[in-house]
Amino acid sequence: VVIPNGIYARRMRGEVRKEWSGETLGFMGRFNEPRKGLKVLIDALPIISRFLPNIKVLVAGPGDPEDFLKEIDPQLRSRIEFLGRLTEKGKADFMSSVGAYIGPNTGGESFGIILAEALAGGAPVIASNIPAFEAVLQNGKYGKLFESENSTDLAKVVIDLLRNDSDREELARSGQEYAQRFDWDVVAK
């Protein structure tokens, strides 16, 4: 018997926190691990900030931000906030609040639970076009895809989505609805 991946979709509906809302890009994971792709997002930040001057990157997850920040242009550091590990409620609030959730992973993913959780929380999702993420997002139907490891392409997709509120809201709504198929209640049946 093969049991597919699942999430507790209803638990991902959190409260919108003002400090995490607006022109914010969320990233969650072990940010010091290169294959998680945070560097791809950070490399896109100079282009994104030219078109979205209030943009902020919120990073949740384990790791030492001091070591990571040493590698980043000092002018960009004020745009990045490290939140550390979040509780399950904090994760739900995060996914329900961010302007867009970014999955810049470069490979080594077999599914993409974090994308399913972001969708369930109501975040519009932008992810690299690695096979696992393409499968979760149904080839771009429920989230925007960019060319893996291409910061310029990521910047373009972010700018296009964050400048179009109606597209962003529709993507978030349809993604949240779609994410219900990953709920353990559905999977268990």
How far is Cα 83 from Cα 65, in angstroms, rounded to an integer?
9
Task: Identify the pLDDT of residue 63.
Answer: 87
The type of residue at 143 is: G
150: nearest Cα among 40, 46, 38, 5: 40
User: pTM score, two decimals?
Assistant: 0.95
142-179 residue pLDDT tens? 999 999 999 999 999 999 999 999 999 999 999 999 99
Task: Identify the pLDDT of residue 140.
Answer: 96
Task: Identify the pLDDT of residue 56.
Answer: 97
What is the full per-residue pLDDT of the chain (189 aa) written as tens digits? 777 888 888 999 999 999 999 999 999 999 989 999 999 999 999 999 999 999 999 999 998 898 888 888 888 999 999 999 999 999 999 999 999 999 999 998 988 999 999 999 999 999 999 999 999 999 999 999 999 999 999 999 999 999 999 999 999 999 999 999 999 888 887
Task: Identify the pLDDT of residue 86.
Answer: 97
* Helix segments in the chain, DSSP class H: 38-51, 65-70, 88-97, 113-121, 131-136, 151-162, 165-179, 184-188
Element (H, E) at 80: strand 80-84
8: nearest Cα among 95, 139, 110, 120: 120
Task: Identify the pLDDT of residue 110.
Answer: 86
Q: Residue count of the chain, please give it.
A: 189
**Main-chain phi, psi angles of 51, to 5 degrees:** -100, -25
| Sheet containing 80-84, strands listed edge to edge, beginning at the edge strand earlier in sequence | 80-84, 56-60, 24-28, 100-103, 125-128, 144-146
Task: Identify the pLDDT of residue 46.
Answer: 97
- The per-residue DSSP string of 136-155 comes to HTTTTTSSEEE-TT-HHHHH
Task: Identify the pLDDT of residue 97.
Answer: 98
Task: Identify the pLDDT of residue 188.
Answer: 80
